[in-house]
Amino acid sequence: MERAFTYQGDVVGAQGWALQRGWTISDGSAPEDAALQELITSAPVRLTKDHRPGSVLRGRAGSLELVAFDAVYASGRHLVPEYAITAAPLLGAPQALRLSPARLWKHRVGGMVQIPIENPDFDRRWTLLAAEDGPQVRRLAADPAVHGLLLGTDDGDEFWTAAGHLAAIRPDGHRPELIEHHARLLTALVTALAAGY
């Protein structure tokens, strides 16, 4: 666990991991990368207009099509990866929701309501906010697979919906262990949400 969440500046490692799995790579300037800016703009952390997608990796992880990229900003001649974002497309038009560690300050939550979580351990550590209460988010709030996976983490990831995706973010740059970690969590979350369609 300690190794998985320690940043090692592993852009080359992440790209090598992606190539071995048949994923595609871009620098964030490809036409299909334009939509990623909306994920950066809507992220539940304080990103600036200077942040943009970089080191974009696309491919399949289990049953999900994923896009993994870094939110980068320019510092002199270098691009600095500040956050790692992994996103999976959702069917239909998902309502706005946020799932965040309870210990983190919540940004951009205007108009969202807190969804009750019956599991007291999960409720102490995680907060689920949605544009409106309903059966789909209630299923997510009650899903035992989601509870088990998230209670086994260090509460370092946040999740939100935007641009037709469910996305995960962590202050870091991508590396193979982090992509695999996000893929496991997103698979459980997408499965819980898809039960509502």
Q: Which helix (H) or strand (E) holds 80?
A: strand 78-89
Amino acid 8: pLDDT: 45
Mean pLDDT rounded to a whole number for the chain: 89
Tokens (6 digits) for 11? 């852009």
| CB distance 111 to 89 below 8 Å | no
Average pLDDT, integer, range 72-93: 90
Q: What is the pLDDT of residues 108-167, one digit of tens each?
A: 667 889 999 999 999 999 999 999 998 889 999 999 999 999 999 999 999 999 999 999
Question: Per the confidence metrics, is the pTM higher than 0.85?
Answer: yes
Using the predicted structure, report yes or no on whether residue 23 has a pLDDT greater than 70: yes
Q: Which of 11-20, 111-120, 174-183 has the lowest mean pLDDT?
A: 11-20
Amino acid 6: pLDDT: 43
Q: What is the pLDDT of residues 111-126, one digit of tens each?
A: 889 999 999 999 999 9
Radius of gyration of the chain (CA): 16
Using the predicted structure, report yes or no on whether residue 7 has a pLDDT greater than 50: no
Closest CA to 25 of 185, 181, 174: 174
Q: Which of 3-7, 71-75, 100-104 has the lowest mean pLDDT?
A: 3-7
Q: Tell me the three state secondary structure of residue 3.
A: helix
pLDDT band at 196 (very low <50, low <70, confident <90, very high): low
Amino acid 107: pLDDT: 66
| Percent of the chain topping pLDDT 90 | 69
So where are the chain's domains? Answer: 3-194
Identify the DSSP state of 94.
Answer: P
Average pLDDT, integer, range 90-111: 82
